[in-house]
Chain A
Amino acid sequence: MKIRHDRAKALMVHAVLLTYTLIALFPIWVVIINAFKSRKAIFNDPLALPTADTFSIVGFEEVLLRSEFDVFFSNSMIVTLTSIFFVLLFGAMIAWALTEYKFKGNLLIAVLVAMGIMIPIRLGTVSILQLMSDLNLVNTLTALVLVYIAQGLPLAVYILSEFIRQIPKDLKEAARCDGVGEIKIFFAIIVPLIKPAMATVAVFTMIPIWNDLWFPLILAPSEGNQTITLGVQQFIGQFVTDWNSVLAALTLAILPILVLYLIFSRQLIRGLTSGAVK
């Protein structure tokens, strides 16, 4: 009796989770399969898989011909990777200094940095645009990188501080007794120890940067400097009636993230559930 009851319960749980999984995947699935179909087949039977008759990649050809998808993609790569590198480097350095040394203003700096976790950097857009135009950085990828470093630092400092605090004192003290300098202690002892935490920070930093539309739209909207999110937005806005192209553009934007996500999902979910961001 008890076993049957448990089994029925497990079945219910699976039914609900499976239904929700389908709800989550269905829209993405429909877009991807239709990107590989002819225009007629897209409308005749949207839910069918492409067959030999209906298979067509005309949409992809159009997208690659009429937009600079490769440029958008490499812009996004450059911006995202550069930003992550500096967020990790500077974030770890700040986290180390704030947790390790006692000095005047320590608490004030810690509070100001922590505030950045909750207060969106977007609210300063008016002055950021002015600043970038004063620095002659409007329409450059550098402007985006600077903004994203500032955007990513608060959470990075927060997570990395938690990890640095757990490093045993003996390690640092032993090095100091041997006369090793503070900077070398940081790079040779601390950084290797917090690498797992850095991977978590990298994933959390990467997603909002790659997906952002606001700052590319405002700081670097011109031809040749668009990131992939902005490029796709502009392209679809322009060719909104060309269903093949729209579906192909969406698929091209989705697939790289999908592949990366499936590779790194374990890392990401472990980060989310390990209590690193509570």
Chain B
Amino acid sequence: MTKTSAGKPFPWHILFFLGPGLLIYFSVSVYPLLDTLRLSFFHESSDGSLAFAGLANFTKLLFDVVWSEPFWNATWNNLVFFFIHMLVQNPIGLLLAVLLSSPKLRLSGTYRTLIFMPTMLSVVIIGFVWQLLLSPLWGITENFMWNLGLEDYFDAWLGKESSALVTLAFISVWQFVGIPMMLIYAALLSIPDELSDASVVDGANPWQAFFYIKLPLILPTIGMVSILTFVANFNAFELVYTIKGALAGPNYSTDIMGTLFYRTFFGFQLQEGSLTMGAAVATLMFLVILLGVALYLFFFQRRIKRFQL
């Protein structure tokens, strides 16, 4: 099996298999990420030369009001964005998955295919579609609410500082609910029928069968869905950029890490773009994502392993 014990010729075939792919992966993914981390410790002078600046970029971002206010604003908004996904998207996904997995359900495949459809479309398309639907000019949503007798509650949600971020989060939830649905559905299917049948024989009602038998068994999947949601949310950019532009208005109320990173790197209006400050924002995003993944791996997965034993 092992072709490379000592004394044998150099394993050219391994190089052949690994070479081309790893060359691209390391030079376009691993190296840029490490180089971005490196750049975050430098300062770029106006002539473009770089000088080592220690932690100056980070202290600026975290404590200097000009930088820290937008930074903490984007971080907070991103957390709100994430919590809405966790509280709305994943429970709805779970509910749909449970319903889809009910035994002998007709049209199950059709529902699945259709509910998953928005997930396939580009966030840019979805953003524009909802912008049109929610537009007071067109009035589709307004009419719809009028029919339900809720017309007093209609507002130009996307234009208001107080509601724009939440509205964007709900649009994103609407689009991506298919992912938790599919993954949890797959996990539910893999549970052997005997388990829940046995609990029913033992006198458990369907709710008990779900909460005590199925839910613990799909907990790893729910954990994975959560970490996927976390990474996707803290990396989001397109939806805000499409609907609100790079300025994430009104008054930065929809600014998240992705749009802040974009503006810091490329500049906007009066502020000039900065390579090194952009790298610093990316580095902090990297740390946030790393923290999330680490928490997931150390706490969630370990606990579940113990449970499965």
Contact between A214 and B122, CB atoms less than 8 A apart? no
Q: Is A141 an interface residue (CB 8 A)?
A: no
Complex Cα gap A124–B34 (Å): 8
Contact between A94 and B13, CB atoms less than 8 A apart? no
Contact between A119 and B286, CB atoms less than 8 A apart? yes
Contact between B279 and A126, CB atoms less than 8 A apart? yes
Contact between B39 and A127, CB atoms less than 8 A apart? yes
Contact between A27 and B241, CB atoms less than 8 A apart? no
**Which residues 172-193 in B have Cβ within 8 Å of A in the complex?**
174, 177-178, 182-183, 185-187, 189-190
Contact between A27 and B102, CB atoms less than 8 A apart? no
A24-B115, A118-B289, A246-B128 in contact; A182/B122 too (CB < 8 A)?
no
Instruction: Point out which of B95, B117, B120 has the most chain A C-beta atoms below 10 A from its C-beta.
Output: B120
Contact between B186 and A96, CB atoms less than 8 A apart? no
Q: Is A150 an interface residue (CB 8 A)?
A: yes
Closest to A208 in B: B122
Complex Cα gap A272–B125 (Å): 23
Q: Which of B14, B33, B114 contacts A24 (CB 8 A)?
A: B114
Complex Cα gap A277–B182 (Å): 11
Contact between A93 and B35, CB atoms less than 8 A apart? no
Contact between B182 and A93, CB atoms less than 8 A apart? no
Which stretch of B16-24, B76-84, B152-160 is in the interface? B16-24
Q: Is B41 an interface residue (CB 8 A)?
A: no
Q: What per-residue 1/0 map shows which CB atoms of A124-151 lie under 8 Å from chain B?
A: 1111101100000000000000110111
Closest to A148 in B: B28
Chain B residues with CB under 8 A of A27: 118, 129-130, 133, 174
Contact between B28 and A213, CB atoms less than 8 A apart? no
Contact between B33 and A119, CB atoms less than 8 A apart? yes
Q: Which of B28, B128, B140 contacts A147 (CB 8 A)?
A: B28
Chain A residues with CB under 8 A of B138: 42-43, 46, 243
Q: What per-residue 1/0 map shows which CB atoms of A92-109 lie under 8 Å from chain B?
A: 011011100111000001
Complex Cα gap A118–B292 (Å): 10
Instruction: List the count of A-B residue pairs having beta carbons below 8 Å apart.
Output: 244
Q: Is B198 an interface residue (CB 8 A)?
A: no
Contact between A278 and B242, CB atoms less than 8 A apart? no
Q: Is B71 an interface residue (CB 8 A)?
A: no
Complex Cα gap A10–B105 (Å): 8
Complex Cα gap A149–B185 (Å): 30
Q: Which of A17, A90, A151, A262 contacts B100 (CB 8 A)?
A: A17
Q: Is B282 an interface residue (CB 8 A)?
A: yes
Instruction: Point out which of A125, A131, A186 has the most chain B C-beta atoms below 10 A from its C-beta.
Output: A125
Q: Is A25 an interface residue (CB 8 A)?
A: yes
Q: What per-residue 1/0 map shows which CB atoms of A210-253 lie under 8 Å from chain B?
A: 11011000100000000001001100100000010011001001
Q: Is B285 an interface residue (CB 8 A)?
A: yes
**Which residues 180-227 in A have Cβ within 8 Å of B in the complex?**
181-183, 186, 207, 210-211, 213-214, 218
Complex Cα gap A131–B35 (Å): 10
Instruction: Point out which of A25, A120, A186, A246 has the most chain B C-beta atoms below 10 A from its C-beta.
Output: A120
Contact between B241 and A90, CB atoms less than 8 A apart? no
**Which residues 228-279 in B have Cβ within 8 Å of A in the complex?**
231, 235, 237-238, 241-242, 258, 261, 265-266, 275, 278-279
Q: Which of A10, A109, A125, A269 contacts B182 (CB 8 A)?
A: A269
Q: What per-residue 1/0 map shows which CB atoms of B30-46 lie under 8 Å from chain A?
A: 11110110010000000
Complex Cα gap A131–B282 (Å): 17
Q: What per-residue 1/0 map shows which CB atoms of B100-141 lie under 8 Å from chain A?
A: 101001110101111111101111110011101100001110
Contact between B140 and A109, CB atoms less than 8 A apart? no
Give the Cβ gap from A175 to chain B, nearest Cβ, in Å: 13
Closest to A45 in B: B143
Give the Cβ gap from B37 to chain A, nearest Cβ, in Å: 9
Q: What per-residue 1/0 map shows which CB atoms of B1-16 lie under 8 Å from chain A?
A: 1111000000101101
Contact between B124 and A213, CB atoms less than 8 A apart? yes
Give the Cβ gap from A49 to chain B, nearest Cβ, in Å: 15
Complex Cα gap A169–B1 (Å): 9
Contact between B186 and A258, CB atoms less than 8 A apart? no
Q: Which of A97, A120, A243 contacts B235 (CB 8 A)?
A: A120
Q: Is B221 an interface residue (CB 8 A)?
A: yes
Contact between A146 and B128, CB atoms less than 8 A apart? no
Closest to A26 in B: B133
Given A126-B282, A232-B124, 4 further pairs, Cβ under 8 A: A46-B138, A94-B22, A127-B39, A218-B266
**What are 5 inter-chain pairs, A to B, with CB distance below 8 A?**
A101-B2, A121-B29, A128-B28, A130-B35, A146-B24
Residues of B within 8 A of A (CB): 1-4, 11, 13-14, 16-18, 20-22, 24-33, 35-36, 39, 92, 95-96, 99-100, 102, 105-107, 109, 111-118, 120-125, 128-130, 132-133, 138-140, 143, 174, 177-178, 182-183, 185-187, 189-190, 221, 224, 227, 231, 235, 237-238, 241-242, 258, 261, 265-266, 275, 278-279, 282, 285-286, 289-290, 293
